Amino acid sequence: MSSCRTPTPNPKIVNHWWNFIDRAIAAVALKDPGLRAPLAVCLGAIPGALSRYYLAVWCQRWWGTDFPFGTFFANLSGAFLMGLFVTFALERAIASPDLRLLVAVGFLGSYTTFSSYALETSALWHAGARVTAIGYGLSSAILGLVGLEIGSWLAKRLF
């Protein structure tokens, strides 16, 4: 009887990949150190945006367009991944600010801004600012929808 085993990432491959990214960022930063952080964000944003796009395409093919499953799954998985990464980074003391920017701001930020929203709401909650966390959470969702509707209304009148 064979056992079913979930594949785990090879630490050597992950370290090799990160070393390559780190060297690429460092090479650009030699000419302008101020580019190091934006470059890390950009390098994470490209695969994050493409992941979100292909997730939406895949969901539309499977379940149609009656419900925004792609966005729904991106928001939920992005929030989960943000919690996983930030906790891992804090508890394992990932010292590289470039890696934190690449994953949390770049990849997850372009994959879904919901993950940042969830992280910030959680941070407020755990800091004891529960009323602020609830206010931020509700007002972001409600005012975001209101802002979208006002922008749409204005675009229809201007263009």
Which DSSP string do the residues of 33-102 spell out, in sequence order? Answer: GGGHHHHHHHHHHHHHHHHHHHHHHHHHHHH-SSS-HHHHHHHHHHHHHHHHHHHHHHHTT---HHHHII
Residue entry with tokens 């755990």: 126
pTM of the complete model: 0.66
* pLDDT confidence bin for 2, thresholds 50/70/90: very low
Residue with tokens 């930063």: 29
Q: What is the mean pLDDT of residues 124-142?
A: 91
